[in-house]
Amino acid sequence: MSFLTAINHLLNFCVPALVLALLQVAGSQLFMRKIAVAHGWIASIALLFVVGCVVLAGGVLLLGSDGQMLTYGVLVLATASAHWLWLRAWR
């Protein structure tokens, strides 16, 4: 595997985490405007992207392959929980 092919695989591995982070932050800006404005876009996207990549890597390590639906379910729950904690939405 060449270097460019390895980079392509890594980027494709992380795309679900990035898309989910973008959608969650955009949705929070739309539906929870008063809470989400104070935190900004960049920090929220970065936090959710990192959480998502960690969950995806953990799914590969535990399940042995990429693209398992269980991993994607945990990805959604973990990023939503992290975003809820980040915004302190319980207040």
CB 55 within 8 A of CB 21: no
Run of H or E including 55: helix 41-63
Residue 58 resides in a domain: yes
Residue 77 resides in a domain: yes
Higher pLDDT, 65 or 7: 7
Tell whether the model's pLDDT for residue 80 goes beyond 90.
yes
Residue 3 resides in a domain: no
Terminal alpha carbon distance of the chain:
50
| pLDDT digit string, tens, across residues 27-71 | 988 887 776 666 778 999 999 999 999 999 999 999 988 889 999
Structural domain that includes position 56: 39-91
Residue 46 resides in a domain: yes
Residue 26 in tokens: 């955009």
At residue 62, the pLDDT reads: 95
Number of neighbours of residue 79 by Cβ within 10 angstroms: 22
Residue 66 resides in a domain: yes
At residue 37, the pLDDT reads: 67
Number of neighbours of residue 59 by Cβ within 10 angstroms: 20
